[in-house]
Structure 1
């Protein structure tokens, strides 16, 4: 259990804020995973790092985790200052939209 808690703390410390332009290259290689703001980004990172398939499948089925849609990408492309919280859990970059009032 200690190891799990340490990885959670390590992942939480790696969350960063970046702009959409910086994430675009990761999208091109299929590495961007969008996480709904209802979920904790660290918790999703722990699930991905720990290969918690059942939990991830539940989130995907509920539309809380997944690849961004073409409409979302087009919208982000149009917003030059769009920012995201991001967490790299190789080979993926987990991203979560930052509400505009906090950007």
Structure 2
């Protein structure tokens, strides 16, 4: 498990919104609440931890982006996200602006 987490950690990337648009268009983007660790979420999704993932979904800690979020991000394409690819999804968390 720790090897898998280390592998995911190596795949973490910081990207602009414009790089995530194609993934949002194919409905493969999952937004992760900043209070969750992207590596933990990626691990749970990859290992099909249904209980944990369903719990996060029910608490709206992971979700598909809303149309309002998409619209806001399209207006500010330079917004940065921390991302991780967990096939077939891209999971992302907004990096707070300073």
Match of 2:87 among 75, 86, 90: 90
CA RMSD of aligned residues (A): 0.6
Q: 1:24 aligns to what?
A: 21
| Unaligned residue ranges in structure 1 (runs of 5+) | none
Q: Per-residue CA shift, 1:41-81, capped at 9, x if unaligned?
A: 00000001100000000000001001000001101001031
Give the CA deviation at 1:33: 0.2
| Unaligned residue ranges in structure 2 (runs of 5+) | none
TM-score (norm 1): 0.93
> Structure 1 stretches (4+) deviating beyond 6 angstroms?
none
Which secondary structure state, in structure 2, belongs to the residue aligned with residue 51 of structure 1? coil
In the alignment, is residue 14 of structure 1 matched against residue 11 of structure 2?
yes
In the alignment, is residue 72 of structure 1 matched against residue 72 of structure 2?
no
How many pairs does the alignment contain? Answer: 98
